[in-house]
Amino acid sequence: MAGTVVDERDDDELRILIQKVARRIRSNRAEGDVGDSQLSVLFYLDVRGALTPTELAALEHVTPPSMNRTVNGLEEAGLIVRERATDDARKVLVRLTPAGDRLLVETRRLRSVWFSDELANLTPTERAALEAARPALRKLAGG
């Protein structure tokens, strides 16, 4: 019972720490950088090829209207194009443009600067521990 209380507090701290690290990552956006969600969509399109808005929404665990807004922003910026699917006229395929591909590469490079510096400031032990936690983080990220 005492153990339970301690565990709850530990979980709390872990949860708050993850949110805080994420907030710091976000706050270190570079000038002309693209937002988190937009970047993540570019990332998925690069890895998996063209996807529908519904598929993207599921991958990001957001609602279709949220993803639609994100896709609108990317389209207005010329980073993706919408194409009607040939097999099902309801479906739309979101595809990376060459400009989107270039921005993805550049933005990831910019984003990595702060984070990689932070990682470099960890001790070898801390770094190894974070590396070992990668599978757990993958599972918590939910695919």
Partner DNA sequence: TATTGTTATACTCTATAACTATA
Partner DNA sequence: TATAGTTATAGAGTATAACAATA
Residues that bind DNA in the complex, under the rule CB under 7 A: 23, 26-27, 34-39, 52-55, 60-66, 68-73, 82, 85, 88-92
DSSP string, 84-117: E-SS-TT-EEEEE-HHHHHHHHHHHHHHHHHHHH
Query: If contact means CB under 5 to 8 A according to the sort of partner, which of DNA, its own copies, none does residue 52 touch?
Result: DNA
82 touches 71 (CB < 8 A): yes
The answer to whether the CB of 94 falls within 8 A of the CB of 45 is yes
The reply on whether position 19 binds its own copies by CB under 8 A is yes
Task: Say if residues 60 and 40 touch (Cβ distance below 8 Å).
Answer: yes
Q: Which of residues 30, 85, 99, 122 is near its own copies by CB under 8 A?
A: 122
Give the x-and-dash track for 27-66 against its own copies (CB under 8 A). Answer: x--------x---x--x----------------xxx----
